[in-house]
Amino acid sequence: MYELIENDIEQAVYSLEYAKAISKKAIILERTARIHIKYDTGMNRLGFLEGESSVEAILAISELPGIEIEGMFSHFAMSDTDDDEYTMKQYDCFMRMVNELEKHGLTIPTKHICNSAGIIRFPQMHMDMVRAGLITYGMMPKGCPKPYTDFEVRPAMTLKSSVVHVKEIPAGETISYGRHFKTEKPSTIATIAIGYADGYLRRLSNRAEVLIHGRRAPVVGNICMDMCMVDVTDFDEKPKVGDEVVLFGTQKTRGKHTEIPVDEISDMLDTINYEVTCLVGKRIPRVYIQDGKIVQMHSSIW
């Protein structure tokens, strides 16, 4: 809490007790803590619920020393589906609280409720600010109905690794733990330096594909903790140690772009694209590219 106040980072407040704790810290630091009130309109996770007691609590927060209410916000629960009725209900609930606070003399400078799906589907609800999350990665909310998903976005995230070993395997041999894959013919198997400890889950075993040289290669055998194996038998140009491997995202080879969409992986895992991107482990270095050049790198282990 001290670091948030000292660095002027605006934080969410969802109870009077937490606001009082912030106030005490701000007084000690002789600073003003800028906060956003979290209002619960139907997500039922965090936030003040609709009612007179919440009005009184928010007004009390506005009077605390060292506190400045910069904004108020809520979360849509269904904006990425075709259930517009519930989204409208949440928005109306939010605006009722905004209006009630204004009746008591409290004007909220920054009001926001739209996530990525809300930005796309409900421009009339943008208010003072929007919260673009998934679409900044160039991905669309998975359940978002057409025609809202028809415009083009460019994925910004690619998960890469490299080939660490290539070997020839006779027919009838099994690959990896559990022996769940058997070669039907003499096969070339490439070992890739990524596994379930990096967020590439075992449930993708014998299902997912990767990109090498702009071609797809199937994952064979169970994905291991730190490695997985792929079948490159049919490749005209056999992969070599050090060759780039793309697990999801785009690979450029000889001027051609080939892609494994994040949604393809999320469908295999019966989940959403948000989760797939969040699964990528901390030991995988983050490389930031702008205009085709590396501008920053970050790693938790080196």
Q: Please, how many CA atoms are within 13 Å of residue 39, restricted to the half-sphere of its CB?
A: 29
Work out the burial of residue 41: count CB atoms within 10 Å of its CB; fewer than 13 is exposed, 13-18 middle, 19 or more buried. buried
| Average pLDDT of the segment spanning 279-284 | 94
Q: 62, 106 in Cβ contact below 8 A?
A: yes
Does the predicted TM-score (pTM) go above 0.85?
yes
Residue 149 has what pLDDT? 64
158/9 Cα distance (integer angstroms): 30
134/270 Cα distance (integer angstroms): 18
Q: 62, 18 in Cβ contact below 8 A?
A: no
Locate tokens 């009130």: which residue? Answer: 37
The pLDDT of residue 278 is above 90: yes
251 token code pair: 């690979």
Work out whether the CA dihedral 246, 247, 250, 253 comes out positive or negative. Answer: positive
| Average pLDDT of the segment spanning 237-264 | 95
The pLDDT of residue 301 is above 90: no
What are the φ and ψ backbone dihedral angles of 149, each rounded to 5 degrees?
-100, 10
Domains of the chain: 2-137 (3.20.20.10), 159-298 (2.40.37.10)
Mean pLDDT, all residues of the chain: 95
The pLDDT of residue 102 is above 70: yes
88/188 Cα distance (integer angstroms): 56
Work out whether the CA dihedral 192, 198, 199, 202 comes out positive or negative. Answer: positive
How far does CA 219 lie from the centroid of its chain? 24
